[in-house]
Amino acid sequence: MSLASQLLTPIPRRAFDLYAMNLPHGPNYGDDEFISAWKSERTSEVGAIFRSPDGTFVTVAMRRRVDHCFVVVALGGGIGDYDQALAKLSADLKVGQPTEPLPSGERRRRGLFDLGDRTPCAVFKLLMDSPTRWAAVNTLTELYLAMPNPDQNFAADMQTANFDSRLWELYLFACFREQGILVSQDVPSPDFKLNAGGHQGYVEAVTANPVEPRGDGLPEIQHAPPDRADRLAGDAAARFARTLRSKIQRSYHDKPHVSGLPFAIALADFHGGSTMVWSREALPTYLYGQLAVVKEDENGRYAASEPIERLRGHNIRAGLFNDPEMRGLSAVIFSNAGTLAKFNRMGLLAGLAVPGVKLQRQGILFDRTPGALEPIDFDLDVASPEYAALWPHGEEWCIELEVFHNPNADHTFPIDLLPGACHCFERGGEVVCETIWKNSILSSMTTIIAPKELQSWYALRSASEVTRVQGRP
């Protein structure tokens, strides 16, 4: 082993996959087989070795710029021996050398946790003060640095009044790049341009926000209405309606660079503490004007849908996609996983958590058994083999992502733009959803279990206290 390689530490693939979000197509390596990945002591340099189908080795070396963003500094290929590949990677990483300069004319990216004289919002302060969420801090930081061109106010917004909106954008970016989508941010709006499989489209992100936070700055806890129809077609659906309409009125689809291409709005629900655990069903009710119901005949109970004209308790017409003025809206993208807990789980799985911290996720899975009306309960350690086995490669960013397609759109949203999402369509008066995943999580809560050693870092009330971030499953 060369002297340079002795300065490197091996890291798991999931850790390198996070750093590979800096690559144009993310952690998608084509036909090359991942062999190993390495980093320097302060993660100022990372690299990986792959084996090509012809048996030779390929290397990828990335180094930090002065603003901490990773850039690819060297690619190697056709190397016949693994030790030679490791030696080349070690030399390319230039451990101990000055960081890479900014390209001429490019602005320096602001640090995500550089507060300056700003007072952080309650959730951002929670992140800064909680070692139990260090995995989320690391993951948020790396994704922010990997974004192609976040606007200049991104860091300040996330630190203060617009934390949820910026968190949602980071989640979407991770979902897009994970799927090999070429993501651009070359115009002020919409937020993202997607390019994959010969298809292009634009996505604008929006969040349903709380009207009035609690005194501590966090949203009021809002439990699901006991009446099912109220839950599906009541206040939550009305909140989605107002949020979507406010964005649609800006006519993004008529902008010259968007005209003629698919356009989608990506919506997340942050309007109340814990609402995203139960509000998802209200969205298709509003979009398609169909209320999901359970009926019964001589053969037993079965799922069906009934058309509705207006949302319950609101003078809002149901069926957004039925409105002829909405033909410029190709789809609505949704997820209830744009949360701190998601970032914490993905960071833990990448090996970025404080040692000893455990995450327990419990919730409900969609039951694909024909005729099933109830979901499947689960309660698993996030680091366990049983949890990883729910999906072919363990938990991924996009498994909770859904795309609701407008059947009357001028430009359909191609499935190839988001192949890993669940795609929902209206067929014969029913809303049908199709996904590549065997297991789809409908809602969940993630519990942090902290060891007592962390008491010296954080004021836990007991030796193994379980803490939650309400409303962030």
pLDDT digits (tens, 9 = 90+) for 306-345: 889 999 999 999 999 999 999 999 999 999 999 999 999 9
Is the pLDDT reported for residue 167 higher than 70? Answer: yes
Q: What strands, in cross-sheet order, belong to the sheet with 358-365?
A: 376-381, 358-365, 441-449, 466-467
CA distances (Å), 225 to each of 57, 228, 334, in order? Answer: 58, 7, 21
More confident residue, 429 or 120: 120
pLDDT, average across residues 176-191: 96
User: Does 212 or 92 have the greater pLDDT score?
Assistant: 92
467 falls in which pLDDT band (50, 70, 90)?
very low
Give me the chain's average pLDDT, please. 89
Residue 443: predicted pLDDT: 84
pLDDT average, residue stretch 239-258:
94
Instruction: Read off the pLDDT of each residue in 277-296 and give the average, rounded to a whole number.
Output: 85
Instruction: Enter the pTM of the model.
Output: 0.91
CA distance readout (Å), 462 to 125, 190, 318? 22, 47, 49
Lowest mean pLDDT of 5-9, 114-118, 250-254, 302-306, name the range. Answer: 302-306
Core vs surface per residue 18-53: b (16+ CB within 10 A) or e: bbbbbbebbbebeebeebbbbbbeebbbbbbbbbee
Residue 348, pLDDT > 80, answer yes
Mean pLDDT of 191-205: 96
First to last CA, the chain: 45
**Residues 6 or more apart from 417 whose CB is under 8 A from it?**
181, 194, 196, 197, 199, 200, 201, 262
Amino acid at 291: L
By CB neighbour count within 10 A (0-12 exposed, 13-18 middle, 19+ buried), where does 152 fall? exposed
The answer to whether residue 347 scores a pLDDT higher than 70 is: yes
Is the pLDDT confidence value at 471 over 80?
A: no
Q: Is the pLDDT of residue 226 over 60?
A: yes
Q: Which residues pair with 124 in a beta bridge?
A: none
* Residue 264's pLDDT band (cuts 50, 70, 90): very high
**Cβ-contact 465, 453 below 8 angstroms:** no
The C-alpha atoms of residue 387 and residue 132 are separated, in whole angstroms, by 20
Residue 470: per-residue pLDDT: 26
Specify the pLDDT at position 459.
46
pLDDT above 60 for 461? no
Residue 465 has pLDDT above 70, yes or no: no
Residue-level pLDDT at 217 = 58
Arithmetic mean of pLDDT, 282-292: 91
